[in-house]
Amino acid sequence: MNRVKVVFGHLSPPNTFKSHSGPVISGEQCKALSTGPDDIVVVHGVRTAIGKAKRGSFKDTTPDELLSSVMTAVLADVGLSPERLGDICVGNVLQPGAGALMARVALFLSGFPETVPVYVVNRMCSSGLQALFNVAGAIQMGCYDMGLACGVESMSLRNPGEPGDVSSRLMDNDKARDCIIPMGITSENVAERFGISREKQDKFAFSSQQKAIQAQKRGVFDQEICPVTTRFVDKDGLEHTVTVTKDDGIRPGTTLAGLTKLRAAFKPDGSTTAGNSSQVSDGAAAVLLGRRSAVEALSLPILGVLRASAVVGVPPDVMGIGPAYAIPVALKQAGLSVADIDVFEINEAFASQAVYCVEKLGIPLEKVNPNGGAIALGHPLGCTGARQVVTLLNELKRRGRRSFGVVSMCIGTGMGAAAVFEYPGV
């Protein structure tokens, strides 16, 4: 090259410059700049099918069996020996003490050695995500390199209800008293206070069903569901061994007209119905996490990178608005905006609160729960967070390109949790 020409170019007037014509890679992707050996990465995740509580596929299956299925499958899929696990954290809501005993039993049923520890966590509907936060935090702290975050719930065998021992002074404190408001009433509160019409809720519920039907038809969930072989007692009292591979809450017969006709479930003039609320369900999910350096040293795949995590408090009587407050905090941590996110997995505890959060944050509807949510699939409380992570990362992977996704949910007693994940691309 003619060096004189180049140097004279530096001294020429700027308007002679020919502008860069190539594709601009936007700044939206730059959080991955901080890719480093200490990143917390998701190696793999699986879930069971989700069964309708008390009637569905897992009505006779104990949670340790569900948990054992996903714990075993997630390691077997990537060929990792359980000895490598520094710890296991299991999210659970309804078992006594969040199922501390049940989780240890599940570990042994999975054939894991006694040297691998396990514990449980209960942050209600976010327990599965909280388990992931806990394992990520311990890895970041340097406690260990690889850990398993799980969530499990059998709502067939346990009912929410028993509040435990609380002071009678609870009634003297407005916020404390609001903590015992039934969840359906908090949904009515959100709908009333923020003007989320019955029509909007039903439309959202209908779309959740439609998306789930399509996803199931296309086999989208087959990649994330691990088959569970279990016992099932039919209506004649006969016991069968069944292998469950499909979510049974999805209702192909759902019509918008049908949803509109349903009666309000929580108060006579209300707008929250069985059709626009999450289903009561059984299920489990497991997510294998690791420090990037360790994951790479073991030649394991990287399905996602945890970029941010947040939990916030909101008024207990409108607990459903939690995601509207948690998501911005997590996005800020990640240095991203709503526009940078390709997929939002926002738990559909109720259509009212999901619609509120989506509208409040200005999220385009097509980015929300592209394969349906808890209204169609079900909401096994402790499992949900981990299940959403599995569904999200598989969806981003299916789309192929490097992108970001968010998992979020509201939490009873007034909280919201959110996490930002990056799918690193192929």
Partner 1 sequence: MKAFKFPARHGYSVEISPFIPTRLACATSQYYGIAGCGTLLVLEQTETGITLVKSLDWNDGLFDVTWSESNEHILVTGGGDGSLQVWDTANPQPRPLQVLKEHTQEVYSVDWSQTREENLVVSGSWDGTAKVWDPSCGGVSLCTLQGHEGVIYSTLWSPHIPGCFASASGDGTLRVWDVKSGRCRLAIPAHRAEVLSCDWCKYDQNVVVTGAVDCSLCVWDLRNVREPLSRLLGHSYAIRRVKFSPFNQTVLASCSYDFTVRFWDYSRREQPLLETLEHHSEFVCGLDFNLHIPNQVTYQGALLSSHLPRLVFDPRHCQHKLCISICSG
Query: Phi/psi at 112 (nearest 5 deg)?
Result: -75, 150
d(CA 133, CA 98): 17
393 secondary structure, DSSP code: H
Q: Measured from the CB atom, is 24 or 257 closer to partner 1?
A: 24
The only residue of 1, 141, 238, 257 in contact with partner 1, by rule CB under 8 A: 1
Other CB atoms closer than 10 Å to residue 330's CB: what's the count?
A: 24
141 binds partner 1, rule: CB under 8 A:
no
Catalytic residue chosen out of the listed positions 44, 89, 125, 383: 125
Q: How far is the CB of 33 from partner 1 (least distance, A)?
A: 6
25 binds partner 1, rule: CB under 8 A:
yes
Other CB atoms closer than 10 Å to residue 419's CB: what's the count?
A: 31
Q: Measured from the CB atom, is 38 or 83 closer to partner 1?
A: 38
Q: Measured from the CB atom, is 12 or 168 closer to partner 1?
A: 12
Other CB atoms closer than 10 Å to residue 76's CB: what's the count?
A: 14
Q: How far is the CB of 44 from partner 1 (least distance, A)?
A: 20
4 binds partner 1, rule: CB under 8 A:
yes
The first and second tokens of residue 91, run together, are 């999210």
Active site residue 89: no
Q: How far is the CB of 6 from partner 1 (least distance, A)?
A: 7
Q: Measured from the CB atom, is 38 or 199 closer to partner 1?
A: 38
Catalytic residue chosen out of the listed positions 89, 357, 383, 410: 410
d(CA 42, CA 23): 30
Of 29-48, binders to partner 1 (CB under 8 A) are 29-37
301 binds partner 1, rule: CB under 8 A:
no
Of the CA atoms within 13 Å of residue 65, those in its CB half-sphere come to: 15
Helix (H) or strand (E) holding 374: helix 374-377
Q: Measured from the CB atom, is 12 or 115 closer to partner 1?
A: 12
Q: How far is the CB of 20 from partner 1 (least distance, A)?
A: 4
d(CA 418, CA 360): 15
The identity of residue 411, as a single letter, is: I
- Count, residues near partner 1 per rule CB under 8 A: 31
Other CB atoms closer than 10 Å to residue 192's CB: what's the count?
A: 14
d(CA 301, CA 291): 12
Instruction: Considering only the stretches 6-14, 163-171, 219-227, 277-285, report the one whose residues sit in contact with partner 1 under the rule CB under 8 A.
Output: 6-14
User: Could you tell me which residues are beta bridge partners of residue 287?
Assistant: 45, 149
10 binds partner 1, rule: CB under 8 A:
yes
Q: Measured from the CB atom, is 1 or 257 closer to partner 1?
A: 1
Q: Measured from the CB atom, is 11 or 238 closer to partner 1?
A: 11
Active site residue 383: no
d(CA 372, CA 376): 6
3 binds partner 1, rule: CB under 8 A:
yes
The identity of residue 258, as a single letter, is: G
d(CA 246, CA 227): 8
Question: Contact, 395 vs 363, CB < 8 A?
Answer: no
Active site residue 44: no
Taking alpha carbons only, the member of 342, 383, 363 closest to residue 151 is 383
Instruction: Considering only the stretches 14-22, 72-80, 97-105, 274-282, report the one whose residues sit in contact with partner 1 under the rule CB under 8 A.
Output: 14-22
Catalytic residue chosen out of the listed positions 150, 226, 379, 383: 379
Going residue by residue from 326 to 345, which x/- string records binding to partner 1, judged by CB under 8 A?
Answer: ---------xx---------
Instruction: Considering only the stretches 3-11, 64-72, 243-251, 407-415, report the one whose residues sit in contact with partner 1 under the rule CB under 8 A.
Output: 3-11
Strand pairing category for 403-411 and 51-52: unpaired
Question: Contact, 304 vs 396, CB < 8 A?
Answer: yes
426 binds partner 1, rule: CB under 8 A:
no
Alpha helices for 119-233 (secondary structure H): 127-141, 174-178, 183-194, 198-217
Q: How far is the CB of 8 from partner 1 (least distance, A)?
A: 11
Q: How far is the CB of 64 from partner 1 (least distance, A)?
A: 41
Contacting positions for partner 1 (CB under 8 A): 1, 3-4, 6-7, 9-12, 14, 17, 19-27, 29-37, 335-336
Catalytic positions are: 125, 379, 410
